[in-house]
Amino acid sequence: MLTALSAVSDPVRIKLIRDLAGSADWTRSCGSFDVPVGKAALSHHFSVLRGAGLVEQRDEGPRRVNRLRREEFEERFPGLLALLLRDDGAVAAE
Amino acid sequence: MLTALSAVSDPVRIKLIRDLAGSADWTRSCGSFDVPVGKAALSHHFSVLRGAGLVEQRDEGPRRVNRLRREEFEERFPGLLALLLRDDGAVAAE
DNA sequence: GGGACTGTAAGATATCCATCGAACACTCGG
DNA sequence: CCGAGTGTTCGATGGATATCTTACAGTCCC
Residue B2 DSSP label = H
Q: How far does Cα B1 stand from its chain's mean position?
A: 16
Q: Do A6 and B3 touch (CB under 8 A)?
A: no
CA of A30 to C1' of D27 (A): 15
Residue A4 one-letter amino acid: A
pLDDT of residue A92: 54
For chains A and B, CB pairs below 8 A equal 52
Q: What gap in Å lies between CA B86 and CA A16, rounded to an integer?
A: 27
Decide if pLDDT at B73 tops 60.
Answer: yes
State whether residue B88 sits within 8 Å of chain A by CB: no
Q: Is the CB of B40 under 7 A from strand D?
A: yes
> Could you say which nucleotides of strand D lie within 7 A of any protein CB atom?
4-11, 17-23, 26-28
pLDDT of residue A90: 60
Worst-scoring range by mean pLDDT, A40-49, A59-68, B64-73, B78-87?
B78-87
Q: Is the CB of B50 under 7 A from strand D?
A: no
| Of A72, A94, A75, residue with least CA distance to A14 | A94
CA of A43 to C1' of D16 (A): 18
pLDDT of residue B88: 61
Domains of chain B, earliest start first: 2-85 (1.10.10.10)
Q: What gap in Å lies between CA A67 and CA B76, rounded to an integer?
A: 28
B26 pLDDT tier (thresholds 50, 70, 90)? very high
A68 pLDDT tier (thresholds 50, 70, 90)? very high
Please name the member of B2, B80, B90 whose beta carbon is closest to the beta carbon of A1: B90
Worst-scoring range by mean pLDDT, A83-87, B12-16, B66-70?
A83-87
Q: What gap in Å lies between CA A74 and CA B67, rounded to an integer?
A: 29
pLDDT of residue A11: 97
Decide if pLDDT at A43 tops 80.
Answer: yes
Decide if pLDDT at B85 tops 90.
Answer: yes
Residue A52 DSSP label = T
